[in-house]
Amino acid sequence: MLDKLQSIENKYTVLTDKLSDPEIVSSYDLLHKYAKERADLEPLITKISEYRKLLDDIEGAESILKEGDKDLKELAKEELDTLRAGVPVVEHDLKMMLIPKDPRDDRNVVIEIRAGTGGEEAALFVSDLFKMYSKYAELMRWTVEILDSSPTGLGGYKEIIANISGKGAYSKLKYERGVHRVQRVPVTETSGRVHTSASTVAVLPEAEEFDLKIAESDLRIDTYCSSGPGGQGVNTTYSAVRIVHVPTGLIVQCQDERSQIKNKAKAMKVLRSRLYDLEIEKLEKERSDNRKTQVGSGDRSERIRTYNFPQNRVSDHRIGLTLHKLEQVLEGDLNEIIDNLTTHFQAEKIKKLQ
């Protein structure tokens, strides 16, 4: 680890030198770039200095034990025990700081929840999951905007897509991707049997226009009249929009707004985020020899969590976490789950640094 720390200190020195270079000082863009890079490294440099001082103090105490008089040796021994106890603490802090920051962590997210196996019960569970994330967003003081939805007659959704905006939204929600399973007695069940249904959740970092260029020639845009279950929400204008990205075959549609322009803007936001997610996934696959060893891959086919109503239980299968507070979780109390997931995946990343 000392080699890594030395390379960081060298980089910090180079950046400091650049900030006094007249050519760079005269360029606002370069000055801003290097000043930000240096400022980002400062907390790590402070911690490295603390670590080096700790090692130097240990070395000094050890030399006193070898050569000092009796009284000094007693003092050095006590100090050495304290100093050595501090090493793993500082090393852990350094490893946490050395974990590469996901540049997407501060982004807003596009969350897509779809009914899987279980018919109408799965659609009702989509509604429950959307309410859960909406209430969590409210607790976090984020905003939620529905981009598109396909409601069913009993109050569920075949699919609902929403934009969740707020600081750190992606960092908190990125581990929610995957298959969510529910075990309960459906409202349509007359014999009282517990059924198992599932819904899938996709969490995409919201893409900015500068993240990728989408050529107009790659898009096929169709308009049609919007519709809803049982005739609800039907209008006679061609306000609904369907966009096909021809090179990838991705299809996005939006009909929630009565304005064609607004529906197109929402559909483009979803399309842009899906394409950005595909690009990131492609890069991650190229960087990994074995996709299965990646930390937090977010595979949408992976069963990640079970919500068991009869036992008031929520179980996250990736980290072996079980909580007996299903009602609170569905009311948006997700912090305990999300904090445990974050700690787990950070620990996995630390292992890779060793």
Instruction: Give residue-wise pLDDT tens across range 36-46.
Output: 899 989 999 99
Mean pLDDT score of the chain: 86
- Phi then psi for residue 337, to 5 deg, are -65, -50
**What integer is the mean pLDDT of 127-136?**
97
Q: Quick one: what percent of the chain has pLDDT higher than 70?
A: 89
State the distance between the two ends of the chain, measured CA to CA, in whole angstroms: 8
**What integer is the mean pLDDT of 94-104?**
82
pTM of the model: 0.68
**What integer is the mean pLDDT of 79-108?**
87
User: Hey, which CATH number is domain 109-288+299-348, 3.30.70.1660, 3.40.50.261, 3.40.50.2300, 3.30.360.10?
Assistant: 3.30.70.1660
Task: Decide the pairing of beta strands 303-308 and 178-184.
Answer: parallel
| Residues 6+ positions from 234 with CB-CB distance below 8 Å | 225, 226, 227, 228
pLDDT on residue 230: 44
Residue at token pair 């050890």: 62
Instruction: Give residue-wise pLDDT tens across range 154-178.
Output: 889 999 999 999 999 999 999 999 9
**What integer is the mean pLDDT of 143-148?**
93
- Listed by start position, the domains of the chain span 2-98, 109-288+299-348
User: In terms of pLDDT, which residue wins out, 267 or 188?
Assistant: 267
Task: Let me know if 351 is exposed, middle or buried by CB neighbors in 10 A (0-12, 13-18, 19+).
Answer: exposed
Among candidate residues 296, 268, 298, 251, the one with its CA nearest the CA of residue 206: 268
